[in-house]
Amino acid sequence: MQVVVSPELALVDPDLREAALARLPRVEPFDFLRLRDLPPPSAAARPLAAAAVYFALAVLRTCAFNAFVFASVFALVLLLNKLG
């Protein structure tokens, strides 16, 4: 049976603190910097294609939005010139 120790109680009682720290998994400093197994090169082509499609869609959306804003401002200026 595993005993659950509250963090506050573990800070106060040195024995509980030592027991709680002993149950933690071992963590090495800078373990996150270790190189993992790299995926095969063919698997890396898929994210590259996805990035290219995302980039193309982002450019298309930006151009469409810019065209909409340009047409709106053009129509507003034309309307104000006709009224004035």
* Three-state SS letters, 15-68: HHHHHHHHHCCCCCCCHHHCCCCCCCHHHHHHHHHHHHHHHHHHHHHHHHHHHH
Name the pTM for this structure: 0.44
In total, how many domains does the chain have? 1
Does 45 fall in a domain?
yes
Does 2 fall in a domain?
no
Q: pLDDT digit of tens for each residue in the chain (84 aa)? A: 566 667 776 677 788 778 877 888 888 888 778 777 766 666 556 788 888 999 999 999 999 999 999 999 999 999 999 987
What's the CA gap between 15 and 25, in Å, rounded? 18
Q: Which of 8, 39, 10, 42 is nearest to 24 (CA)?
A: 10
Does 72 fall in a domain?
yes
Domain hosting residue 75, numbered range: 7-27+39-83
* Token digits of residue 56: 């193309």
